[in-house]
Amino acid sequence: MTDETPTTAARPSDRSPYEDQYGFSRAVVAGDFVLVAGCTAYDDVDAVVEGDPYEQTLAAFATALRALDRHGLTAADVVRTRMYLTHVRDCDEVGRAHKELFDAVRPVTTMVVVQGLTDSRMMVEVEVEAHRPGLARTLEGASDGTSARTSEGTQP
């Protein structure tokens, strides 16, 4: 018996220059899961949201949720989050932003303090994993010419 579910499917590109520079995808579909790479705090004009861990967390999750939206998923589909903070003092503010976005969903989560991120202005980086039963079949249908919901993203 073989599993016909693809291990990876669509890898929509974000306009982040780091995707090409470092060789990664913002999001990858693996079966019925969408895995979103680390997202940091850029606003709508690609400027860093500086100095506020709460606002940075909201901005980072907004980028991650836009990546999910490309596959028709929302915060309600999120099953795991990870938050990397540069200062332990920011745990409560980062946690407050997480709760505002995911309290109704209650995904499993990990919050760790790291020595630093790739941009010294960044205080938090987030990762998201979402699950939608039947997603792989929906995307397979889209590759056959049927519809799967996608939208354009604008964040790095």
Domain-located, residue 8: no
Distances (CA, A) of 40 to 59, 118, 138: 7, 10, 29
Residue 1 has what pLDDT?
A: 42
SS3 57: helix
Q: How many C-beta atoms lie closer than 10 Å to residue 138's C-beta?
A: 19
State the Cα angle at 88 between 106 and 52, rounded to 5°: 80
Digit-coded pLDDT (tens) for 29-50: 999 999 999 999 976 666 788 8
Give the bridge partners for 82, in sequence order: 110, 127
Instruction: Specify the CATH number for the domain of residue 23.
Output: 3.30.1330.40
Give the count of domains, the chain.
Answer: 1
Does residue 5 sit within a domain?
Answer: no
Asked, for residue 10, whether it belongs to a domain, the answer is no
- Token duo for residue 150: 């996608």
| Model pLDDT for residues 51-81, shown as the tens digit of each residue | 899 999 999 999 999 999 988 999 999 999 9
Identify the domain containing residue 82 by its residue range. Answer: 17-143
What pLDDT, on a 0 to 100 scale, did the predictor assign at position 141?
Answer: 66
Domain membership flag for residue 132: yes
Least confident range from 24-33, 103-112, 121-130: namely 24-33
Stated pTM of the model: 0.79
**Residue 7 in domain:** no
